[in-house]
Amino acid sequence: MNNLWAPWRGEYINAKKDGACFLCDAPQKRSSEELKTELVLFKGAVTSVIMNKFPYNSGHLLISPVRHIAKIEELTPEESIDLFRILRHTTAAITMAFNPEGFNIGINLGRAAGAGIEEHMHMHVVPRWNGDSNFMPLLTEVKVIPEHLQETFEKLKPFFERI
């Protein structure tokens, strides 16, 4: 039997599930060390960028309004504009850091659409490379992420300090 190590999964499994919204809570951390632990790359006045702790690929980021809302139609004009401004910056940052060959960008609204967090809308930005869907996820239902989350954080963080 082969072992596939994913140490950050243990953090998720052992974490207290208190019903809090991490998309609201993580950007409110004060110290740079807390923000690093929570994988917060950017916290703006109306928008934040957080790394997905359980990514589909290295560099899988979540962009969300700071305000706790569930539906697109609840966005203010300022939030709508800022989400796409940050999306544009995010794809540029990921491109400079990882040189992907494409992106999947999506918003899942509601449980029927696959939303894991129904009550706080957010965009997924997933960098893609030709061949990244190889035999592992197809045959074994295992996705290999080639670098630790903190290493990915360190590569991306400088790009978000310039916003």
Helices 149-160 and 77-98: crossing angle in degrees, nearest 10, is: 120
* Active-site entry in 60, 89, 120, 122: 122
Which residues, in sequence order, are CB contacts of 91 under 8 Å at separation 6+? Answer: 103, 105, 125
H/E element, 63:
strand 61-65
108 contacts: CB under 8 Å, gap ≥ 6:
114, 115, 116, 124
Q: What's the DSSP call for residue 109? A: -
List C-alpha distances in Å: 5 to 2, 12, 53, 95, 154: 10, 14, 15, 27, 20
Is 122 catalytic? The answer is yes
> How open is the CA angle 80-83-85, to the nearest 5 degrees?
110
Active-site residues, by number, are: 122
